[in-house]
Amino acid sequence: MFLSGLIRLAAQVEKNRACVKLCKELEPSQCIFPDILKLVETPGDSDNWTPSKLKLVKEAYCAQHNKMCKIETSKDDCGLLGAPCILFSKYGKREGFQNLEGKKLHDVSTRFQQRSGVSLHENVPDFDESYLTKNLKSHSIQRTLLDPRQFGHPNRRLRSWRICLHNKLKVWKCDLSLSELADVLLAPLDVKLALDHSCYLTASRADLMTHSVFSDKDLQGSQQKHLALFQAKLPDKQLYDLSANPNKRRRVETKESALPCLTTSSTLWSEKAGRLMLGKEQLHSLGYPSTNIGAQAARVDPVNLDNFTEASLRRMSGNGMSLPCAGFVLLMAVLFVEDK
């Protein structure tokens, strides 16, 4: 998405109807383009895409207005990009850019970065840095690793973050690098947390009344089987990800009682609460005002998610960025990026 005060344009990198629906509710007047691949003209040999060869189209189908809308971007915009991390994630096949379909999504995102004076980029720590070095030769890049735990959030989600600056348009005006600023301003990764993962169990009574899983007897077959295995093998743990088979992957709380890194299939069972963590609560763990308590803390109105399925909310939380981390990088860009 490209930010200029407020969201002006949102481009979806996955064909996820729930994400499009949420964007429409959050920004009812802004354009939402549901397929980022439709924002460029397809080259003749699509297996050899490179960002610089992609020609941006002038208009595309907009899900917000249900018609073709003009694509308006400016070099003064700040692009916030997070192309799919599954190509490099330890929870995927780690195909990297050998996965040509996945590479196309990165190529289109990078084409927008090439046009931007400044852009923020997020991905997993194992992202191929040489890709940006090769395709953003006209940019300088500030990079750091960030995790919600550095902000006191009991949620493990280590990601690499970058501020990419067009050398002809923008300059970094700070004696410290982005990584050095993070070291100075934020807590270390091994900080002792004041809260544990149970702080996210903040669903209202109304939310719980619409939820069908109140005990282990209400779980689906594979979930019930995985829970029994977790309880037998890891009885001292308090949080189990029932999407994983504990004989293969033991997805439980971290040693400091933080959430494990959420994936699109994560289905978290709390032994303390005796129930599944709701999708709203998983989004709350990333900093989104998806519950009343979370919204009150942020001093904003809660996002209405009543019409979303549990599966769609969990999928969005697995795809989501940590807002404390995104906010820190955006604040550093506001403070230390200036026009040339």
Whether the per-residue pLDDT at 5 is higher than 50: the answer is no
Residue 1 has what pLDDT?
Answer: 37
pLDDT of residue 33 exceeding 80, the answer is yes
Q: Which of the four pLDDT bands, split at 50, 70 and 90, describes residue 4? A: very low
For 39-63, write each residue's pLDDT tens digit: 888 776 666 678 888 888 999 888 8
125-149: b (≥16 Cβ within 10 Å) or e: eebeeebbeebbeebebbebebbbb
- Torsion angle of alpha carbons 52, 77, 340, 330, nearest 10°? -110
**Where is pLDDT greater, at 314 or 18?**
314
Query: Is 120:109 a contact under the CB 8 Å cutoff?
Result: no
pLDDT band for position 84 (cuts 50, 70, 90): confident
Question: What's the mean pLDDT in 227-253?
Answer: 95
Question: Looking at per-residue confidence, does 326 or 24 come out higher?
Answer: 326
pLDDT, position 231: 96
Q: Residue 14 has what pLDDT?
A: 52
H or E element, residue 11? strand 6-11
The identity of residue 251, as a single letter, is R
End-to-end CA distance of the chain: 24
Strand order in the sheet with 31-33: 31-33, 6-11, 2-4, 78-81, 118-123, 159-166, 139-146
pLDDT of residue 214: 62
> How do residues 271-289 score in pLDDT, each as one tens digit?
999 999 999 999 999 998 8
Helices (H) and strands (E) in the chain, counts: 10, 16
Asked if 243 contacts 265 with a C-beta cutoff of 8 angstroms, the reply is yes
DSSP state for residue 302 in the 8-state scheme: P
Q: Write the pLDDT tens digit of every residue in 91-121.
A: 777 888 888 888 888 888 898 888 888 999 9
Query: Could you give the 3-state DSSP secondary structure of residue 329?
Result: helix
**What is the average pLDDT across 173-196?**
95
CA angle centred on 107, ends 105 and 108, rounded to 5°: 70
This prediction has a pTM of 0.89
Domain spans of the chain? 197-319
The pair of three-digit structure tokens given for residue 174, joined into one six-digit string: 């700070």
Least confident window among 6-15, 83-92, 156-165, 213-222 = 6-15
Look up residue 315 and give its amino acid.
R
Structure-model confidence comparison of residues 251 and 28, the more confident one: 251
- pLDDT for the residue 308: 86
Q: Is the dihedral of CA 151, 266, 330, 63 positive or negative?
A: negative
- Calculate the CA 161 to chain-centre distance: 11
Nearest to 251 by CA among 24, 277, 263: 263
Question: Predicted confidence band at 7 (pLDDT cuts at 50, 70, 90)?
Answer: very low
At 2, the pLDDT band (50, 70, 90 cuts) reads very low
- What's the average model confidence in pLDDT over 68-92? 79
Report CA-CA distances (Å) from 37 to 79, 83, 109, 159.
Answer: 17, 12, 9, 25
Neighbours of 274 (CB within 10 A): 11
Beta-strand pair 59-62/55-56: unpaired
Judged by DSSP in three states, 46 sits in helix
Tally of CA atoms within 13 A in the half-sphere of 157 that contains its CB: 28
Q: Select from 11, 34, 24, 10 the least CA-distant residue to 108.
A: 11
3-class DSSP state of 204: coil
pLDDT of residue 46: 60
pLDDT given at position 239: 97
Q: Where would I find the beta strands (DSSP E) of 63-220?
A: 67-70, 78-81, 118-123, 139-146, 159-166, 170-172
d(C-alpha 226, C-alpha 261), whole Å:
18
Cα–Cα–Cα angle for 268, 271, 276, nearest 5°? Answer: 35
